[in-house]
């Protein structure tokens, strides 16, 4: 009996251990964390980028009557500027000679829309003529421009100079002999073919891009869009979780010189119409750096997200909290906010006021906007 006592003790100890270690409940493996998230996708919008056409005169050099060598330019999708002004230039193909257009007849057409009694939109155009101007600042999503000028309106162009390039620059001050670095729109006679009607390209013309190895030369171009159409398709998502809204998107062109990307949220009224636009800031590189990409037009503030060749922003992000946005800081955060927009905006326009150049847009789901 004595010899088996230790075995009994051992068995008892094991029994005790097992009894203590075992439990009839199963461990809970999932634990919800905080608020739900709601996501939606950013889609490329119908373009409202800067665009237009340029109709060149028949004669490449001056004809017998240069005053009849008319140049007709149409423009749309321009930001309204708070500093600087849109200025037109004539140039030769190699962009070695520039001549500023000092007189032009500007016709501005403003289209306002309202809803009639049947709920259908009605459009009311208002035309304003401004003859003999040398530059202008107006812009907006509902403004279009027709510029009528002629070869002899640019006094600096010699009669033997070829007029093959029409360039729109933004001049921050008194123009010099050549356009300033912000040269967002241009058209070449050669791009118009036999019609001489060239679609304007939007981007950065020539040496406006910082000079570096492989960068475009004086007569080269960084084309963001041709006649308003981008050849790149950005993509991304908007996610809302409680007070936090995050945009993560990718595959954008670098902003043309003088432009930057920003984002806005659009608040609806109770009938679903635009009520307010809320600025949610300049775009940044993604987490964890979140470096501002405001200067990505001329430098590379975040090499991990911004490429120099090709000129592409590989990834962008925005993160905001309603704590810093009183208009969205309701009991249900982001209540009535229905749209999120990624815009390209001129640095010469008023920051925080939404311009016409929406590149991407997301419709926030009802789960977020609350109706």
Partner 1 sequence: MSRVLRSLALTAISAAALQAQSIPKQFSVTTRIGALSAERSASLDPAGLIGLDTEYALTKFFGIGTAVDVSRGNSTKKDFLTRLRYGNAAVAGGDSIFYQNIGQAVSTVNLSVFGTLRYPSKTFSPFVMGGVGSYVMMLDPQVNGKATRKNDLSYTGGVGLWYKLGERVGVQLDARAVTYTKWDRNILNPAFGRPELLTPFPEDFPVPPASKNTALNTMITLGFRYIPGGIGGGN
Among 93, 276, 351, 363, interactor with partner 1 by CB under 8 A: 363
Residue 196: which of 52, 51, 57 has the closest Cα? Answer: 57
Angstrom distance (rounded) from CA 326 to CA 209 = 39
DSSP secondary structure code for residue 55 in this structure: E
Nearer to partner 1, 100 or 283 (CB): 283
Of the ranges 19-27, 109-117, 191-199, 339-347, which one interacts with partner 1 (CB under 8 A)?
A: 19-27
DSSP secondary structure code for residue 343 in this structure: E
The set of residues, in sequence order, having a beta carbon less than 8 Å from that of 27 and lying 6+ positions away, is: none
Q: CB 21 → partner 1: shortest distance, Å?
A: 4
Angstrom distance (rounded) from CA 305 to CA 291 = 10
Cα–Cα separations (whole angstroms), residue 210 to 171, 178, 252, 311, 344:
17, 16, 19, 12, 19
Q: Map residues 39-58 to x or -, x wherever contact with partner 1 holds by CB under 8 A.
A: xxx-----------------
Among 80, 149, 191, 248, interactor with partner 1 by CB under 8 A: 248
Q: Does 103 bind partner 1 (CB under 8 A)?
A: no
Tell which positions 147-186 bind partner 1, by CB under 8 A.
none
The DSSP-derived string for 205-232 is: EGGGSPP-TT---TT-EEEEEETTEESS
Among 21, 64, 177, 331, interactor with partner 1 by CB under 8 A: 21
Tally the residues of the chain.
Answer: 371
Among 119, 193, 214, 288, interactor with partner 1 by CB under 8 A: 288
Q: Does 117 bind partner 1 (CB under 8 A)?
A: no
Angstrom distance (rounded) from CA 274 to CA 358 = 15
Q: Does 9 bind partner 1 (CB under 8 A)?
A: yes
Q: CB 85 → partner 1: shortest distance, Å?
A: 41
Angstrom distance (rounded) from CA 203 to CA 216 = 12
Q: Does 371 bind partner 1 (CB under 8 A)?
A: no
Q: CB 80 → partner 1: shortest distance, Å?
A: 33
Q: Does 285 bind partner 1 (CB under 8 A)?
A: no
Q: Does 1 bind partner 1 (CB under 8 A)?
A: no
Q: Does 34 bind partner 1 (CB under 8 A)?
A: yes
Residue 207: which of 49, 82, 98 has the closest Cα? Answer: 98
The set of residues, in sequence order, having a beta carbon less than 8 Å from that of 368 and lying 6+ positions away, is: 38, 240, 334, 337
Determine whether 350 is exposed, middle or buried from the number of CB atoms within 10 Å of its CB (0-12, 13-18, 19+): middle
Containing 76, the helix (H) or strand (E) segment is strand 70-76
Among 110, 196, 319, 353, interactor with partner 1 by CB under 8 A: 319
Tell which positions 206-245 bind partner 1, by CB under 8 A.
237, 239, 241, 244
Q: Two tokens at 134?
A: 């040398």
Q: Does 291 bind partner 1 (CB under 8 A)?
A: no
Q: Does 246 bind partner 1 (CB under 8 A)?
A: yes
Q: CB 38 → partner 1: shortest distance, Å?
A: 6
Among 1, 24, 33, 58, interactor with partner 1 by CB under 8 A: 33
Cα–Cα separations (whole angstroms), residue 267 to 19, 274, 275, 278, 332:
61, 6, 5, 7, 14
Residue 73: which of 199, 225, 159 has the closest Cα? Answer: 199
Among 38, 180, 300, 314, interactor with partner 1 by CB under 8 A: 38
Q: How many residues bind partner 1 (CB under 8 A)?
A: 50
Q: Does 332 bind partner 1 (CB under 8 A)?
A: no
Q: CB 69 → partner 1: shortest distance, Å?
A: 52
Q: CB 265 → partner 1: shortest distance, Å?
A: 15
Angstrom distance (rounded) from CA 226 to CA 21 = 72
Contacts to partner 1 by CB under 8 A: 2-3, 5-21, 26-41, 237, 239, 241, 244, 246, 248, 287-288, 319, 363-368
């Amino acid at each position: 009996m004595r010899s088996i006592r230790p075995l009994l003790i051992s068995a008892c100890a094991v029994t005790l251990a097992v009894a203590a270690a075992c439990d009839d409940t199963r461990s809970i493996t999932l634990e919800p964390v905080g608020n739900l998230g709601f996501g939606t996708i950013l889609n490329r919008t119908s373009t409202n980028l800067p665009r237009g056409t340029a109709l060149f005169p028949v004669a490449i050099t001056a004809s017998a009557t240069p005053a009849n060598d008319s140049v007709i330019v149409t423009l749309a999708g321009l930001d309204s500027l708070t500093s600087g002004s849109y200025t037109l230039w004539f140039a030769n193909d190699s962009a070695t000679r520039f001549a500023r257009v000092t007189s032009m007849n500007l016709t501005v057409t403003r289209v306002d829309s309202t809803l009639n009694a049947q709920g259908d939109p009605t459009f009311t155009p208002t035309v304003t003529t401004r003859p003999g101007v040398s530059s202008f600042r107006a812009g907006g999503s509902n403004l279009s421009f027709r510029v009528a000028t002629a070869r002899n309106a640019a006094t600096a162009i010699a009669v033997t100079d070829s007029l093959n390039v029409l360039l729109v620059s933004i001049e921050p001050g008194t123009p010099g002999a050549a356009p300033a670095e912000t040269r967002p729109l241009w058209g070449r006679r050669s791009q118009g073919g036999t019609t001489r009607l060239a679609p304007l390209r939007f981007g950065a013309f020539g040496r406006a891009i910082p000079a570096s190895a492989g960068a475009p030369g004086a007569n080269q171009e960084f084309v963001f869009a041709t006649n308003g159409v981008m050849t790149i398709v950005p993509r991304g998502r908007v996610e809302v979780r409680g007070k936090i809204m995050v945009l993560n998107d990718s595959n954008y062109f670098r902003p043309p010189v003088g432009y930057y990307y920003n984002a806005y949220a659009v608040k609806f009224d109770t009938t679903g119409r635009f009520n307010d636009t809320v600025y949610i800031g300049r775009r940044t590189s993604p987490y964890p750096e979140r470096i501002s990409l405001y200067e990505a037009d001329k430098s590379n503030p975040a090499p991990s997200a911004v490429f120099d060749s090709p000129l592409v922003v590989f990834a962008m992000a925005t993160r905001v909290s309603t704590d810093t946005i009183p208009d969205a800081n309701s009991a249900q955060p982001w209540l009535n906010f229905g749209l999120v927009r990624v815009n390209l905006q001129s640095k010469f326009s008023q920051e925080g006021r939404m311009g016409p150049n929406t590149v991407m847009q997301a419709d926030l789901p009802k789960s977020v906007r609350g109706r």
